[in-house]
Structure 1
């Protein structure tokens, strides 16, 4: 079984300023350590990772050496590989930023980071807007909406993702309080940006009580969202299947049920194209590729849509692939991952461990993918 790749960054200095009554740790770590304050970030990260021990055979961590992650992962027996190097002194904000860059370049599905609002600022400064991240609360100040409510909750949510549960993606604000002003009893907070954060998705309460998600209503909602988000001059490939055909019908577009069609500026510009025609349409032109999953089976590439060939996928870019599937359809997989079988092993291996799924009006889920 292919392993699920998770990035891990620990800010070992996070939280030191709290017990020392410094109102934060920015620039105060050495003074806190001199007062005998013990670092807690690794222990809080351990609490999160303990929720993943039962899934150890399914996970590979990618992290930084020593106190930034490698040391703890080795102690806990997790499969992992390390990137980068650390100097002899205390870790810095630049170490965190460098680690984020390298982890996302490594293609991890999720970056877990332990720290406080200062750490979230460092992550936000360099991370790609589409990279899912989740904070393990370990700092003094936790104002940002990018942290789990507890270390254990961070681990449980990550476990849900690895196991194939429905995990919604949302934007979380990064905010930080001015520590110098706080030490003078003035509370001044500032907005620094937003991060892509997984949240508890799955079923709404009505489904658990016996209600059923309406496929027709969901497709109407998805159509309204897509229509409001059309990018001028950008092409949208609609793959085969009743889900995308129904989506197109809600947009007032005549597409083929079992063919591949091309939409641009809200109009069908090509219907039922073959592989060569599709490649000519996407090569060198900004494009999004919309596919759906085969219900009960999970394939999104390589079953019934061979027009979407490896060269088409490369021309479009895997980062511009979107899966369209209702939660009801995903439930038929019973936790199994989505599947790709492009015909080229190297390309299949380049797919991320989890893909974005459009599941409702402005509702994106992060769902595991296997090769």
Structure 2
């Protein structure tokens, strides 16, 4: 089987440092200055490890260097390089390689990135070739990505072993305006569709917006405030991203950011839109409680838009000190009925598995499985 591989080397670099995206050279430069890390190659490697034993059945066509060649060489795959190696890559490189893959008549395109990368692939090939996305970006609203890198590898495996039994479907390519996103305005737009293998429980759905009643928000806020008042005065509260968390915390009386991670200590917001390093430095010698919500439609608690909440932060806080809040509509919009974690640390994802109580109203919780 001929598989095209494209890795966006800078995908996700802005996530842990609170930049809400990685598009644009200036953003990437700022992300590096703040301590952002390149993760997309390691995530692609995680996916490809799932098919190393099938290497004799696959011929890869890929970008030079960090756009795919480096990972394939390390894992011992057969591959042909398309294009020249570059120190700095842009969206144009992704689109150019994708067009060349179309000319090579590959059976499948595998790409690592976020919503911007999915748009680039769509611009180049539209629905002419089946595609699988390895989630590596900050914004991953599109329904063309697997739940996590390992699941992407499992989808590739099924496709290589029995292509004819896999159903593909036109799946949404969504993206948002990053400039407005950084101004706390969330505007998502449908850009088109990619043909994607829809393997049950491995591929994510698109993010869905969900309504919430005033009664629900007030009920969650009242219950959460009661919990906060019963904890130690020295407790640090790490407040995650999202509209539900924002509405609840504002009802309690905290002017938290909509799309950043904030820290509340001794009744005051002491850090707003904090980076991963700032969060860890503040809580590392203190007890902390984390307040997060669920992504509607997809079900992710970690790994979608809140990459500031790194594995070391989650481990320091501890599973018992994580409070998940959500509305009825958001929970019942989750396509497969389970919540998910994609922390970039498979061992931590495994530790987080199990049943979680989710606060949905005053004195009212519901149990969901994280898997």
Normalised by the length of structure 1, the TM-score is 0.52
Q: Quick check: 2:127–2:170 contact (8 Å CA) kept in 1?
A: no
User: Unaligned 5+ residue runs, structure 1?
Assistant: 202-371
**Cα distance in 1 for residues equivalent to 2:103 and 2:167:** 23
**Cα distance in 2 for residues equivalent to 1:135 and 1:178:** 20
- How does 1:61-80 map onto structure 2 within 5 Å? 61-80=60-79
Q: Quick check: 2:126–2:193 contact (8 Å CA) kept in 1?
A: no
Q: Quick check: 2:115–2:174 contact (8 Å CA) kept in 1?
A: yes
Q: Quick check: 1:17–1:23 contact (8 Å CA) kept in 2?
A: yes
The superposition leaves residues 195-215 of structure 1 with CA deviations (integer Å, 9 ceiling, x where unpaired) of 1111127xxxxxxxxxxxxxx
**Cα distance in 2 for residues equivalent to 1:34 and 1:86:** 24
**Cα distance in 2 for residues equivalent to 1:59 and 1:131:** 16
Q: Quick check: 2:13–2:38 contact (8 Å CA) kept in 1?
A: yes
The equivalent of 1:92 in structure 2 is 90
The equivalent of 1:20 in structure 2 is 17
The superposition leaves residues 72-92 of structure 1 with CA deviations (integer Å, 9 ceiling, x where unpaired) of 10011111111111334x100
Q: Quick check: 1:86–1:95 contact (8 Å CA) kept in 2?
A: no
Show structure 1 runs of 4+ deviating over 2 A.
none
2:143 is the alignment partner of 1:145: yes
**Cα distance in 2 for residues equivalent to 1:172 and 1:10:** 20
The equivalent of 1:105 in structure 2 is 103
**Any idea what SS the aligned residue of 1:173 has?**
strand
**Cα distance in 1 for residues equivalent to 2:127 and 2:176:** 23
Q: CA deviation at 1:183?
A: 1.0
**Cα distance in 2 for residues equivalent to 1:120 and 1:128:** 10
2:35 is the alignment partner of 1:36: yes
Larger Rg: 1
The superposition leaves residues 313-349 of structure 1 with CA deviations (integer Å, 9 ceiling, x where unpaired) of xxxxxxxxxxxxxxxxxxxxxxxxxxxxxxxxxxxxx
- How does 1:80-229 map onto structure 2 within 5 Å? 80-88=79-87, 90-164=88-162, 166-200=165-199
Provide the alpha-carbon RMSD of the alignment.
1.2
User: Unaligned 5+ residue runs, structure 2?
Assistant: 201-371
**Any idea what SS the aligned residue of 1:200 has?**
coil
The equivalent of 2:6 in structure 1 is 9
Q: CA deviation at 1:130?
A: 2.1
